[in-house]
């Protein structure tokens, strides 16, 4: 993790930069409380995995982090933006710096891979020059090892390829933070392993800070610096993968023994 060194007389103190800070976030739907006092901090270039069973509120949490849902209480600070007091213009600025890789890849079926990748460049960065678009699309495809799919359509891609193209489409805007929602769901173990490698490669190349939402234990083990387990909507279990593996919490034990 890179640190900011602050020199003060003869002493050097090290302050890792906070990229995401979530304090006491609660969210309910009707009478049902999904998130209960969630607290977590993600530092620069850190990979935080949010681990939890289906329906524990992992996607609700990630949606709160990009302003798609509003928490009932608590605060969310991302980069220098306070999401609980953000205006529309600032939210748009923030969204340019936060790449959200959706669970289902969210590719447009009627567009080729090339058109899918050009879309955010045109819409978000107003880049229309053909040569520039081509260079950026090829570079993003090279990053995920899929240059040869340029003219294919989503229906012609495997599940793993779709996930990679979804990541390329997010990376093309050069975000500071990557949010991955279930990056390995529905994939075989070998393809999942390739996606895990890609997540690590993305961090190295782009210096991204990442939040990875998953219920895939192998993914958590491979990519995490830190893990937060959501159990009954609470984030009380936090630590490294090995620390959480030793937890006596019965739900977490079942997870690790699965
Ligand atoms: N917009 C919504 N309105 C009402 N209930 C919702 C809404 N979004 C999510 N929920 C509920 O919140 C709970 C948590 O959903 P969420 O999608 O966050 O689970 P998850 O942990 O991501 O599960 P999975 O691993 O299966 O994707 C579910 O019971 C879901 O029905």
The yes-or-no verdict on residue 34 having pLDDT over 90 is yes
List, for residues 70-82, the tens digit of each pLDDT value: 999 999 999 989 9
φ and ψ at 36, to 5 degrees?
Answer: -120, 110
Nearest to 238 by CA among 55, 19, 51, 4: 51
- In total, how many domains does the chain have? 1
The model's confidence at residue 6, banded by pLDDT at 50, 70 and 90, is very low
Closest residue by Cα to atom 26, ligand 1, is 54
Rounded distance from Cα 60 to ligand 1 centre (Å): 6
CATH number at residue 168: 3.40.50.300
What is the pTM for the complete model shown?
A: 0.87
What domain range is 171 assigned to?
Answer: 4-257
Give the model's pLDDT for residue 12. Answer: 54
Closest residue by Cα to atom 2, ligand 1, is 29
- Atom of ligand 1 lying closest to residue 185 CA: 25
Cα–Cα distance, 25 to 169 (Å, whole number): 30
List, for residues 191-220, the tens digit of each pLDDT value: 889 899 989 999 998 899 999 999 889 999
- pLDDT > 70 fraction of the chain, expressed in percent and rounded: 93
List, for residues 131-179, the tens digit of each pLDDT value: 999 999 999 999 888 999 999 999 999 888 998 899 999 999 999 999 9
55 ligand 1 Cβ < 6 A: yes
């Amino acid at each position: 993790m890179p640190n900011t060194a602050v020199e003060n007389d003869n002493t050097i103190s090290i302050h890792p930069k906070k990229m995401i800070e979530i304090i006491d976030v609660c969210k309910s739907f009707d009478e049902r409380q999904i998130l209960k006092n969630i607290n977590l901090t993600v530092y620069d270039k850190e990979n935080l995995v949010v681990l939890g069973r289906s329906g524990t509120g992992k996607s609700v949490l990630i949606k709160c982090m990009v302003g798609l849902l509003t928490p009932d209480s608590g605060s969310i600070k991302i980069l220098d933006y306070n999401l609980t007091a953000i205006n529309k213009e600032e939210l748009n600025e923030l969204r340019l710096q936060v790449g959200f890789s959706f669970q289902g890849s969210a590719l447009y079926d009627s567009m080729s891979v090339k058109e899918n990748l050009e879309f955010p460049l045109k819409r978000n960065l107003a880049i229309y020059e053909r040569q520039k678009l081509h260079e950026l699309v090829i570079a993003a495809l090279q990053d995920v090892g899929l240059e040869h799919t340029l003219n294919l359509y989503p229906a012609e891609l495997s599940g793993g390829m779709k996930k990679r193209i979804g990541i390329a489409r997010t990376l093309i805007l050069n975000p500071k933070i990557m949010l991955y929602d279930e990056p390995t769901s529905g994939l075989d173990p070998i393809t999942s392993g390739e996606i895990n490698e890609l997540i690590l490669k993305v961090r190295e190349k782009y210096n991204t800070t990442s939040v990875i939402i998953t219920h895939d234990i192998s993914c958590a083990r491979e990519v995490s610096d830190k893990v937060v387990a959501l159990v009954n909507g609470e984030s009380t279990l936090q630590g490294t993968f090995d620390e959480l593996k030793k937890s006596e919490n019965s739900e977490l034990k079942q997870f690790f023994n699965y």
